[in-house]
Structure 1
């Protein structure tokens, strides 16, 4: 028995007592730096692509800073690389690891290989889409879903690290959804629309808050009178919230801004409504379906376009074909009839 026991030492980088980087995370960052791809890095380490994204999102959430950035094409080619902050974190960890190994060398970690998914879907959080992904799995396809927000989802498709991206990014200049952001990624000619739907975006309000219109909400958010539950930067909902706030500030010439709540970013609409329900926030921009499900008051903001896209070269993949069939209006209507705040496009 005793001969099976081993002591292993491991460096850990913490922020305010919370673990941020351990050996697995450091190895992932090193592989991203080496290969210029999150997908290639995750495969090299034998961990699911979705797990790699969970690690990245968690670090960015804890630190409040980006640790990776993506690009497609252009001088030097595209890919994923560490930001200066991400590189700094890895450097700090590597120094600690080197010092530890000089004192107590440890065995390297082992990772269990996993079965390759049939399809990778990167998306912005949406309950209806998750029903559709469940149906895709029931068609006997191995589905890897990455709930990482619209901007990151689009980036994974541009880098060909996902098969499908489902997004809702509003452009205030053209007053349209998604297309301007696809064009910025330099691959608009390669993108194929699979289908989509409309969902109602609302301000969800705690029952104890007395307020009657959007202008009052924005005024009190900007002054700090209302605590807001904020989605993460890069999500379609956060983009729209920033647009609403900046538009209100511009129209009213406001100079003093004291927004309370956005320092803590939330990665799903469920987190937003739970924070309001618990009394830790007063208001939040979210989808009506979940706000009503949690018994919150709502004020209508807009109907937004939620769309799923793929690349021409991926259209022949059987799970992509089936996914497109699941987005057919005849199929969607059965769900939309049961879900508040959705309608066919």
Structure 2
């Protein structure tokens, strides 16, 4: 089903896998599939390279673009694994539907993904922490500037070798003025525009000494929702608390995995709306033990402190942190170093 056009000139020998900048180096091949005449055409795997787009392509004018983030891992026996790729597939189609983009066929997705990863398997380095970041995305390619959904699209998959996404301590600022999404909007979708709109307020937070911003609700900036591009968890005492998913909050694959692991290991959780006020008060009382973000690129990212209304709050450094516990459990499953009770691993064929 997949047409494969191999490159005659691999770039892999020019890559220093010990010194990678996230998302800057790409593998030899990419997958491309066009939608026209009312249907998806045959997927093609071809050498990685530039696209040719008409200046009036609708993605450039009306932002019809959605994407996903996944990772491939290689175990000690050279087997390649994905982590819950069915969730990413379902989510990119949910995102597409919200932006009036035709949904992509499941057999096309998995057959082309398997073929691409097998072809570029040497780019997946063994070793705990090494991975291949996978970026499926869809853009509207039809020519014309009429304000209407496009009739032509391009579904693509590109891959980038990766190490740790963040390094060092991360401090966040609770947003007082900006929100990531509003009720009835596209916050639950991985729409490209969601991320472009984050850059300006995040830059302001960085100027104030923070690495990320924690988004608050659009109505009153009273409730904490997401941390930058991650879902966020709070440990109050020994209870793990996180906001519920909604049409504003992304249904993160790592987030739902953390909640399932917590249930498996009898860690008490609450999925409910979390107020800025209660987290500030918990920090003042010493009851806020941890905060951490979860996401595909980061897995689990500990947060060492936060700022709000000019005040800064530091969190304790714990030997038995939940962040360390969940990251270890998740990564051992991802790298085929532990039993997968949940059926999360997917072996690339």
Relative to the length of structure 1, the TM-score reads: 0.26
Q: Which has the higher helix share?
A: 1
Q: Rg larger in 1 or in 2?
A: 1
Q: Which has the higher strand share?
A: 2
